[in-house]
Structure 1
Amino acid sequence: MDADGAKSDMSPQQVQLLHDRHRRLAAGGLVWARRRRIAIRSLRRAAWRSRIWLDAHVKRALDLVGAIVLLVLLAPLVLAIAIAIKLEDGGPVLFRQTRVGRNGRPFCMYKFRSMVPDAEERKAALAALNEMRDGILFKIRRDPRVTRVGRICRKLSFDELPQLVNVVRGEMSLVGPRPPVPSEVARYDPGQRRRLTAIPGLTGLWQVSGRNEIDFDGQVRLDVTYIERRTLALDLAILARTIPTVISGRGAS
């Protein structure tokens, strides 16, 4: 009998074969759909990886070319600053400090010296004046250790110019999170350690959003936001905002 009660010309064996065939077709359709979904996910993953790879290589090329061009164009200014620092107190021109880069790798970061030669020795005596309540960073608005030349350099961010050498060496990028010191990293919680997943930069999102006016938690939040959303377009936007921020001196100490 068929579904309407009429007699069917098909034997039970034929009906079973037909049912089996339908099941195989249905199962085959499910398998095909599953394979299609897997293929689409694989293609999307490959496209995402290709984009990340391309962005990283283009970013590195822009960093290298940009840093070299800036070093050449700013050579007279760099020389003038070096002479001024040397003439003021006879101390070293450069300040070298170990910073932590991508994936926790330490490197030597360069800056123009903006403080007196024995600044670290005087730091303990000034601990009570630290304006950063979290205790992780050390900031004093009118730090007595800063020299006259150093104050001008900090106001205009000229003290950061030697970091262009770090950019050429691949230790830093033109745009990225702030490179922390080892003692700061030792106090990071898991969320804050996300800052170490990107190459540190000369400038970044928090530098153009208030610089030293932003507390430590705010700096971390902006750095992590940059890491999550970083694109070449965002880098170019931050670089464009850096120039007026430096000229205005907003948030500089």
Structure 2
Amino acid sequence: MELVIVNRPQVLLPYRRIHQIAKRVMDWVLCVLALPFALPLMGLCALLIRLDSPGPALFIQERIGKGGRRFRMYKFRTMQHNLDDGFHRAFMKAFVNGQIGNAGENGKQGTNGNLHGAFKSAFVSSKVNNNGKNGNGKVYKPIQTSQVTRAGHILRKTSLDELPQIINVLKGEMSLVGPRPNVPWEVEEYKPWHHERLEVLPGITGLAQVRGRSGISFDTIVQYDIEYVEQQSLALDWKILWWTVSSVIIGAGAE
């Protein structure tokens, strides 16, 4: 299915153009300065993944970036290799469609506000039978308990699984700060107003990640993303980076 990206008419004002240039310079400088520390750490993470479970160290997936452009995003693999993603797709489609998540500030909410209800909704959406199996006879289990590797738990808890996205930032496909990029089949489920989050480069971290709490709805995440799009500045980027580092250090918000 071809994506139909709906963006509001946008005039790039001079100060916005200057901001984009300054933001790009900041991204590039910070990534280059981080490389001497990041490269050895990435090598250690890759070794840990390979020793822990069969499969590649990197997980490469097509994502949707600024203006609906597709790119290949890099992450460290945290789950078992070659998994059937049918359950995950059903879960995420239900999440984007507002069937999973707590109420947002404007009253929008999903039908399931807890993890058990979320998994139940995803099971229904994927049309599993009464035995909890799909058409291939495979039993779907919650991702948190059955599909994440031992190394993956460590990488997710410390957010080190996102470290390879420095490559995407250096290539100009992502920024350090911005809305998290979705995969194409998630964008296909967008409501028209959701597309406003695609007006800027996607980021490794964002306003929704530092302000949001566990279990918030997709609509609420997008509201935070649009707030960032409308208020973007280098000062805000520095605040988000500081909040992100602080939350990682104290172990809050990492999944």
Q: TM-score range by the shorter chain?
A: 0.7 to 0.9
Q: Which stretch shifts more, 142-151 or 107-116?
A: 142-151
Given residue 30 of structure 2, which amino acid in structure 1 is its aligned partner? G
Aligned ranges 1:223-234 → 2 under 5 Å: 223-234=225-236
Per the alignment, residue 61 of structure 2 pairs with: 97
Matches within 5 A, 1:38-117: 49-117=13-81
Q: How does 1:195-234 map to 2 (within 5 A)?
A: 195-210=197-212, 212-234=214-236
TM-score after normalising by structure 2 = 0.73
Q: Does the 8 Å CA contact 1:104/1:196 hold for their aligned counterparts?
A: yes
Matched positions, count: 204
Contact kept? 1:85, 1:113, Cα under 8 Å:
yes
CA contact (8 A) 1:115 1:147 kept: yes
Q: Which ranges of 4 or more aligned residues in structure 1 deviate by more than 4 Å? A: 125-128, 130-133, 135-141
Pairing 1:160–2:162 present = yes
The TM-score, its normalising length taken from structure 1, stands at 0.74
- Matches of 2:214 and 2:253 in 1, distance apart? 5
Unaligned runs of 5+ in 2: 1-10, 101-117, 120-141
* Whole-angstrom CA distance in 1 between matches of 2:60 and 2:217: 24
Spell out, residue by residue over 1:55-74, the C-alpha distance to the aligned partner (whole angstroms, 9 max, x if none): 11110001111112222222
What is the CA-CA distance between 1:49 and the residue it aligns to? 2.3
* CA deviations over 1:217-253 (Å, ceiling 9, x no partner): 1111100110011111111111111111112332322
1:145 aligns with 2:172: no
- Contact 1:211–1:252 (8 Å) recurs in 2: no
CA contact (8 A) 2:93 2:189 kept: no
How far does the alpha carbon of each residue in 1:106-142 deviate from its partner, in whole angstroms, 9 at most, with x for none? 00000000000022x1x335778x4985365898572
Q: Which runs of 5+ in 1 are unaligned?
A: 1-45
The change in CA–CA distance for 1:211 and 1:158 in structure 2 (over 3 A counts) is farther
> What does 1:150-189 correspond to in 2, within 5 Å?
150-189=152-191
Q: Flag the structure with larger Rg.
A: 1
Deviation (angstroms), 1:89: 1.6
Percent of matched pairs sharing the same residue: 43
